[in-house]
Amino acid sequence: MKLLEYRQKEDFGTEHIFTLLKGKRRSFIQLGLSWNEYPGAPYFQLAIGNNRVIDILFWCWKFGFAFELLGITWDSWDK
């Protein structure tokens, strides 16, 4: 288990991912900040359940923000 992990991902822009208390497949808190090359319409999503306690996704123009509490680690499907 890792206490804190940082990843940077490049895909149509830069995404910075911070993970607190990360296990093999699950993590306590994940936070993602992104700045993309292409603008988009404002978007807000709030999800509860389905392998996580709460998930918040916000998108406005080129800026994106994501937060997840007690969910599956985002980079676990990359492996």
Q: Mean pLDDT for each 10-residue chunk of the chain (79 residues)?
A: 92 92 92 92 93 93 95 73
Q: Which residues pair with 59 in a beta bridge?
A: 43, 64
Structural domain of 25: 2-78
Cα separation, 2 vs 23, in Å, equals: 7
pLDDT at position 78: 61
51, two tokens: 């392998």
Count how many domains the chain has: 1
Question: Residue 1 carries which side chain, given as an amino acid letter?
Answer: M
Q: Helices then strands (H, E): number in the chain? A: 0, 4
pTM value > 0.85: no
* In the block, residue with structure tokens 């807000």: 44
